[in-house]
Chains A and B, each alone.
Chain A
Amino acid sequence: MKEKEVIQTLDDIRDMMSKSSRFQAVSGVSIIVVGVYACIASILGYLFIGAPDMLPFLSGRQDVFQLNTPYRIRLACLLAVGLFVLSLATVILMAYAKARRHDLRFVADKRMLQMAFNFLLPLAVGGLLCMALILQGHYGLTSSIMLLFYGLALVNCQHYTYPVLRFLGYAEILLGIIDCFSIHYALLFWFIGFGLLHILFGIFYITKYDKVK
């Protein structure tokens, strides 16, 4: 009987240490939802770069589909920014809901602000770099820069939440590096990195951390 008590005590200690120091409210379902958004966005992107006729609101506007017209770039940027905002909002709202449900902490304390800063800094740097490259007419590396900096952002905030997050980060970085060296497949890498990897990681996350205790 004593053995059970000791095991229970050690479990309690471990729980309390991670509950107090790590941000556990991110919901696994929201990771999957973000992956699905990204899949839809890259399919949309593919359609209006590769096959604009299939989109009703663009059919008959062939004139604007000369390669790399500013109009199309603007559309693509709008899509990417929209996706980012929507994803961030989804993750935050669902994290808030999960925190309410499981009585987890969801306060803008020092740790949470540090986590947000560590996550957003690489993203902001990567975003500005992408913008600069696009403005100067270099479109080729956009998707790999997004993957690379997103991966770095994930690795950078592993200490504030579940450390397995870094493996998603490593995968994104690896994909970004491969993407650097290959041409023509930007949207495919984008689809895998932001879509499929999120969905897979979300499923793993749910089985491992989202179980109700």
Chain B
Amino acid sequence: MIAGLDGLNKAFESKARLGIMSVLVANEFVDFTTLKELLQLTDGNLASHTRSLEDLGYIRCEKSFVGRKPNTRFYATEAGRTAFADHIAALESFLKNQK
């Protein structure tokens, strides 16, 4: 992706992580399967991206069981929402400066 612009967040350089944040910011929560289908990622791929976002404190997950099947829900944290908004603001200000 676009590197070297001011104010861009390194965490959102990957398309998958940016996609995860877009979905979570727009929804109260999203479960693992839905997220996987929306972004068309594999299980392992999605798991590693969500883990890295979780480590940064941008998202949190809640694990529960539906019957015997594990069900993971992801939520965007306040920090995540702020970081995402800042990232978009940086992209937009770049566009403005081009004109």
Contacts and interface: CB of A to CB of B under 8 A. Distances in A.
Interface of A: 2-3, 5-7, 9-10, 12-13, 16-21, 105, 107, 109, 111
The 4 closest A-B pairs by CB, nearest first: A17-B26, A16-B22, A21-B26, A20-B23
B74 to A, nearest CB: 12
Interface residues of B, number: 22
Contacts of A105: 34, 37-38
A101 B43 CA distance: 24
Contact of A13 (B5, B18, B27, B94): B18
B26 A20 contact: yes
Q: Is the interface of A mostly helix, strand, loop or mixed?
A: helix
Nearest to A16: B22
Which of A2, A10, A13, A111 lies at the interface centre, i.e. has the most chain B CB atoms within 10 A of its CB? A13
7 contacts: A2-B5, A2-B94, A3-B95, A5-B2, A10-B91, A20-B23, A105-B37
A105 B95 CA distance: 32
Nearest to B2: A5
Given A6-B95, A10-B91, 10 more contacts: A3-B95, A3-B98, A5-B1, A6-B2, A10-B95, A13-B22, A16-B22, A17-B23, A20-B22, A20-B27
